[in-house]
C-alpha cells in the first residue's frame, strides 16, 4: 500500500489524466477527447494509491483568457461557488481544487499556480495551500501559462495533509528540465519538519506593504503576529521588499510571451484528438462559439499573447531578467539577507469579493507576486474570519525553504486552530 492508499483526491482540470476523464482547462475547445497519458503528478498519485475522483472546476485557461475574467467560471463547469458565502468568489484559478477540499468533497487536491492561483483560493476557502519552489514538482502534462512561473502544488485542510501530499508529488522528471534544479534539495519526508515549537527562536519579517487593502483583515493578521511573538518568534516589522511593485509590467510581458509558446507546445502533445492545435485555433474557436465561451468577458490576454514573437526577442529576455533580478536578489533574497530572516509573513489576501458577471473580478490585492515571479515557495494557512469570510496568512521565503515554511505554518496552525467548516450560506454572515 502506498502513502495515499484509498485517499480520495481531485485534480485541477488543467492536469492530464490518461483515462476517460477529460482535461480541458475549463474550455470547450479541449473537450473532444481525453488526454493521451497521465501528467507526471498523476502518475505519482496513482503509484501512491490515491483514488482520483475527478477533475476540479477552474477559471478557464487558468484566468488567462480575458482581462475582466470572473474567477472560478468556465464554460465547461459553470461558476464555482465559495462554500462560506455562495455569492462570493472562490478566487482563481484553482478555485474548484480549494472548494472541494473546504467542502469535504475530497481529502486533498492538486492546484496549479502562475501567480496566486493556489494561495488565493486556499486563503478564501479556509484551507492550506502550498506553492512549491519551481522545479520541486513536475509540470509535464499540465496545460501551461508560463514555464518561468507555473507549478503544481498540494492543497488540504491541514498543514500535515499538505506535507504528506507534497511527499508524493516531488521527483525528477526528464520531461520537465526544471526538476533537475531540485536534485539534492528534495526532502524524503516533509512531515518531519512539522514542529509545534518551530516558531520559537524564528526571525520573521513582516511585509507591511501588503497590508492596507482591508482594515478588518489587518486586525486579524496583526493578531496572528501577536500569537507568533507569544510563541517565541522575533518579528522584524516592517521588513518590506525593496522592489515591491516594480515589476508588474515586466511580469505581464513575460506571461504573454510564454503563454503563446508554451500553449502551442502543449497542444502538439494532444495531437489530433482535439480540434485546436495552436493559440490561433483557440482564439478562433472562442469567436465561433462566443455564446458559450464568452458570455461574460473577452479574450484580450490571448489576443495579446498571439501578437508576440519568439522567446528570443529582446523585449521578452529583458523582462525575464528584470523579473528574476527584482523578485530574487533585489526582492526576497535581499530582504532575508538584510534582516537576517528565516521567512517573510503577510496577509494572503483580503476576504472574498462578490462574484460579478458584469464587471469581472474586483482584486483587492494578494501577496503572491514576489514568490510567484521568483519561483520561490509560499504557503498560506487559515488565520481567521472577517464577517464570516476566511482570511489566510502567508509565509514565503528563499528557494527550497519548504521545510522551514511548513514548520512555521504548522506551529501557527496548532497554536490557533481557527479553521471552521463552511456553512454554505447564501451570503456572508458573521
> Closest Cα partner for 166 from 146, 198, 193?
193
Please report, for residues 57, 158, 364, 371, 393, the alpha-carbon distance to residue 350 in angstroms, rounded to integers and kept in the order given. 23, 21, 6, 18, 10
Give dist(CA 273, CA 32) in Å, integer. 7
Enter the C-alpha cell of residue 66: 480575458
Three-point CA angle 350, 355, 358, nearest 5°: 125
Enter the C-alpha cell of residue 73: 467560471
Output phi, psi for 407, to 5 deg. -65, -45
Active site residue 117: yes
Active site residue 269: no
Phi-psi region of 340 (alpha: psi -120 to 50; beta: other; left: phi over 0): left
Asked if 53 and 106 count as a contact pair (C-beta separation under 8 A), the reply is yes
Give dist(CA 358, CA 69) in Å, integer. 10
Three-point CA angle 125, 383, 13, nearest 5°: 25
Catalytic residue from among 109, 117, 148, 394: 117
3-class SS letters over 75-117? CCCEECCCCCCCCECCCCCCHHHHHHHHCCCCCEEEEEECCCC
Give dist(CA 206, CA 212) in Å, integer. 13
Catalytic residue from among 71, 93, 250, 368: 93
Catalytic residue from among 12, 44, 55, 322: 12
Give dist(CA 57, CA 54) in Å, integer. 10
Active site residue 401: no
Kindly list the catalytic residues.
Answer: 12, 93, 117
Amino acid at each position: 500500500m502506498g502513502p495515499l492508499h484509498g485517499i480520495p483526491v481531485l485534480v485541477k482540470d488543467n492536469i492530464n489524466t490518461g483515462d476517460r476523464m477529460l482535461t480541458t482547462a475549463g474550455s470547450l475547445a479541449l473537450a473532444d477527447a481525453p488526454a493521451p497519458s497521465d501528467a507526471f503528478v498523476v502518475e505519482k498519485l496513482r503509484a501512491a494509491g490515491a483514488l482520483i475522483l475527478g477533475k476540479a472546476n477552474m477559471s478557464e485557461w487558468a484566468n488567462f483568457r480575458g482581462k475582466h475574467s470572473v474567477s472560478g467560471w468556465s464554460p465547461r463547469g459553470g461558476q464555482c461557488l465559495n462554500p462560506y458565502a455562495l455569492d462570493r468568489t472562490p478566487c482563481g484559478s484553482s478555485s474548484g481544487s480549494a472548494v472541494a477540499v473546504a467542502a469535504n468533497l475530497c481529502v486533498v487536491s492538486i492546484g496549479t499556480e502562475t501567480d496566486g492561483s493556489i494561495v488565493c483560493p486556499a486563503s478564501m476557502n479556509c484551507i492550506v495551500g502550498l506553492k512549491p519552489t519551481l522545479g520541486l514538482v513536475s509540470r509535464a502534462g499540465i496545460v501551461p501559462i508560463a514555464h518561468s512561473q507555473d507549478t503544481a502544488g498540494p492543497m488540504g485542510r491541514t498543514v500535515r495533509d499538505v506535507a504528506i501530499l507534497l511527499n508524493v508529488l516531488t521527483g525528477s522528471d526528464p520531461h520537465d528540465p526544471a526538476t533537475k534544479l531540485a536534485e539534492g534539495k528534495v526532502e524524503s519526508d516533509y512531515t518531519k519538519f512539522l514542529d509545534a515549537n518551530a516558531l520559537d527562536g524564528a526571525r520573521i519579517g513582516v511585509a507591511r506593504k501588503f497590508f492596507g487593502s482591508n482594515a478588518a483583515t489587518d486586525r486579524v493578521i496583526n493578531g496572528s503576529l501577536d500569537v507568533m511573538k507569544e510563541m517565541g518568534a522575533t518579528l522584524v516589522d516592517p521588513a518590506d521588499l525593496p522592489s515591491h511593485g516594480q515589476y508588474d509590467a515586466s511580469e505581464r510581458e513575460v506571461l504573454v510571451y510564454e503563454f503563446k509558446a508554451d500553449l502551442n507546445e502543449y497542444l502538439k502533445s494532444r495531437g489530433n484528438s482535439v480540434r485546436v492545435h495552436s493559440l490561433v485555433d483557440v482564439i478562433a474557436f472562442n469567436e465561433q462559439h462566443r455564446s458559450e465561451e464568452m458570455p461574460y468577458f473577452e479574450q484580450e490576454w490571448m489576443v495579446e499573447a498571439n501578437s508576440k514573437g519568439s522567446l528570443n526577442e529582446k523585449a521578452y529576455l529583458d523582462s525575464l531578467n528584470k523579473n528574476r533580478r527584482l523578485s530574487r536578489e533585489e526582492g526576497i533574497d535581499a530582504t532575508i539577507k538584510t534582516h537576517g530572516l528565516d521567512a517573510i509573513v503577510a496577509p494572503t489576501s483580503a476576504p472574498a469579493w462578490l462574484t460579478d458577471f458584469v464587471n469581472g473580478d474586483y482584486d483587492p490585492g494578494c501577496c503572491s507576486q514576489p514568490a510567484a515571479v521568483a519561483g520561490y515557495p509560499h504557503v498560506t494557512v487559515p488565520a481567521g474570519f472577517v464577517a464570516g469570510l476566511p482570511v489566510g496568512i502567508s509565509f514565503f521565503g528563499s528557494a527550497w525553504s519548504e521545510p522551514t515554511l511548513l514548520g512555521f505554518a504548522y506551529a501557527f496552525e496548532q497554536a490557533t486552530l481557527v479553521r471552521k467548516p463552511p456553512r454554505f450560506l447564501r451570503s456572508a454572515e458573521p
